[in-house]
Amino acid sequence: MLNGRIVLGLLLLVGILAIPLSYSLDSANAASDTKDAIPLQPIIDGSKPGEVLEIKPGIYSGPVSIDKNISIRGDSSVTVLNMEAESTITIRSDGVTLQGFTVQHLTNEPTAAIQVEGDRVEITGLDIQSQSFGIVLRGSVDGLIHSNTISWAGPESASSGQKGNGIDLYNSHRTHIEDNQITGMRDGIYLENSRNLTVKANTLLHTRYGIHCMYIDGSSIEDNVGENNSTGAMVMGVKNTVVSGNSFRKQSENVHSQGILLYDVHQSTVRNNVVEGNRVGMNIAEASGNDIRGNAVLRNFIGIQLVLAENNQFTRNQFVSNVIEASAMESQNNEMKGNYWDSFQGLDLNDDGISELSYGINPFYEQVVNRNSAYQLFFQSPGMVFMSSLFTEGQAEWTSDRSPLMSMEAQSQTMKTGTQPVKETTGVWIIGCILLGMATLIMINMGGLRK
């Protein structure tokens, strides 16, 4: 019995120490590699402006600084390794190009694998493994960051606050960030105080915010894919920006998870995005003057949530299989038209695919829960549903879709033609009138017979 307990205790101890031990061994191996690595700085110093350096296979040591317009090219057999508390590669010159090799930035100090301070810098096809930040741009304009892989290289137990952003950009205008894959970082792509950015076709996995925008203007966020993040796109303090063609799925691990958050966003367009399987599909707060159309809001707990949102236009969106389709609080003068709500029972008298009855967002449940959060336990209970159906206070002020679509097919047809579908309904109306007249005559006749 004693030996069994000893064995069990040893097994538990090994299990507890397994992850830190593995991490320590990886660090030790990296330290050994650094000791035997080829110094990269002398190779850079010996190059001429405009030269292309083709790096031979091997492990090279950082940190290094680039102060001339050179190109450094390698492949997967080339690794630049750094364990010091400095950025692995710092670019201070304009017109520098990095292409094709691996960068291992193994320090938890707030530094970057690549720090960019020059203009017209191209970073393409790198495999960046970082225990801090990936690529950081400061005051760098007209750059291209394309087809890179950026991943977290620290312990899996690290919190988001202990990590750095995959791509972190500040005051860096006209930058193109395309076709990168970012996994496990704090924020996948962080953009602040910049104009005319293009963020396109990136894949963002297991981050806090897949794309995080702060005070950007005149930019586009298009065709990106985000999954298993806390929030797919956190768009804040933004104007004149297009968020289009993105797919944000399975943002549900946090109580504040959402597919797309628009906070303090103005005069922007949000179109043709898919938000699926999130806690909140689209959260629109303190935003105004935006065009939100053609989005597919699918299988979220709350499809769309409006808070202090005014003068926005919602057109041709699909709301399908959401637990709560819509929530609106203190939101006024928003125009909704031609959206499809799968739980809505409409009435289409002229067979044009559009309901003659409007769809109103009933605020009963939100008001009850705000007064007493314990009432969440009764969500979708028969009593709560019944009470909600009776609630009509201030109905004229509810956010409403005045012309909801009867089906998604009707939406597809109107989107293709740009107009409402027109069908021949004259015959239907004639038959209806004849039947109504016959029924009236029968009722009058029966009344006369009874007398």
How many helices and strands (H and E) does the chain possess? Answer: 6, 41
pLDDT at position 83 is: 95
Q: What is the pLDDT of residues 311-328, one digit of tens each?
A: 999 999 999 998 888 888
What percent of the chain is modeled with pLDDT above 90? 60
Instruction: Report d(CA 314, CA 210) in Å as an integer.
Output: 24
**pLDDT higher than 60, residue 103:** yes
**pLDDT higher than 90, residue 342:** no
Quickly state the pLDDT bin for 292 (edges 50, 70, 90): very high
pLDDT at position 31 is: 54
E runs forming strands in 75-171: 78-82, 89-91, 97-99, 102-105, 112-116, 122-124, 127-130, 133-138, 144-146, 149-152, 167-170
Lowest mean pLDDT among 197-206, 216-225, 354-363: 354-363
pLDDT at position 392 is: 55
pLDDT at position 324 is: 85
Instruction: Report d(CA 448, CA 210) in Å as an integer.
Output: 75
pLDDT: is 378 or 17 the higher one?
378
Question: Average pLDDT in the 263-286 region?
Answer: 95
Question: Average pLDDT in the 338-362 region?
Answer: 77
Question: Average pLDDT in the 424-446 region?
Answer: 49
Question: Average pLDDT in the 283-306 region?
Answer: 94
Would you tell me the crossing angle of helices 364-371 and 382-390 to the nearest 10 degrees?
Answer: 120
Domain that holds residue 202: 34-417
212 burial via Cβ count (<10 Å: 0-12, 13-18, 19+): buried
Residue 436 domain flag:
no
Average pLDDT in the chain: 82
pLDDT at position 108 is: 87
Residue 423 domain flag:
no
Instruction: Report d(CA 439, CA 425) in Å as an integer.
Output: 21
**pLDDT higher than 50, residue 403:** yes
Which token pair is 282? 């689209």
Quickly state the pLDDT bin for 375 (edges 50, 70, 90): low
pLDDT at position 331 is: 85
Distances (CA, A) of 178 to 103, 184, 216: 19, 18, 17
Residue 18 domain flag:
no
Taking CA 381 as the corner, what is the angle to CA 380 and CA 386, rounded to the nearest 5 degrees? 90
Quickly state the pLDDT bin for 17 (edges 50, 70, 90): very low
Instruction: Report d(CA 260, CA 224) in Å as an integer.
Output: 12
Closest CA to 210 of 218, 202, 200: 202
Quickly state the pLDDT bin for 449 (edges 50, 70, 90): very low
pLDDT at position 330 is: 82
Residue 431 domain flag:
no
Per residue, the 3-state secondary structure of 382-413, as one string, reads HHHHHHHHHCCCCHHHCCEECCCECCHHHHHH
Instruction: Report d(CA 139, CA 123) in Å as an integer.
Output: 16
Question: Average pLDDT in the 256-270 region?
Answer: 94
Which token pair is 281? 């599909």
pLDDT at position 357 is: 79
Instruction: Report d(CA 403, CA 356) in Å as an integer.
Output: 7
Lowest mean pLDDT among 2-16, 30-44, 61-75, 315-329: 2-16
Lowest mean pLDDT among 36-50, 202-216, 276-290, 396-410: 396-410
Radius of gyration of the chain from its Cα atoms, rounded to whole angstroms: 29
pLDDT at position 434 is: 57
pLDDT at position 1 is: 46
Closest CA to 94 of 54, 42, 49, 133: 49
pLDDT at position 247 is: 97
Residue 441 domain flag:
no
**pLDDT higher than 60, residue 19:** no
Q: Tokens 């950009």 — which residue? A: 169
Question: Average pLDDT in the 90-118 region?
Answer: 97
What CATH number corresponds to the domain at position 55? Answer: 2.160.20.10
pLDDT at position 372 is: 61
Residue 1 domain flag:
no
Question: Average pLDDT in the 355-371 region?
Answer: 65
Most confident of 8-12, 30-34, 233-237: 233-237
Residue 261 domain flag:
yes
- What sign results for the dihedral spanned by CA atoms 160, 166, 169, 174? negative
Identify the helix (H) or strand (E) that includes residue 329.
strand 324-329
**pLDDT higher than 90, residue 442:** no
**pLDDT higher than 70, residue 368:** no
Please count the structural domains in the chain. Answer: 1
Residue 425 domain flag:
no
Quickly state the pLDDT bin for 451 (edges 50, 70, 90): very low
pLDDT at position 234 is: 95
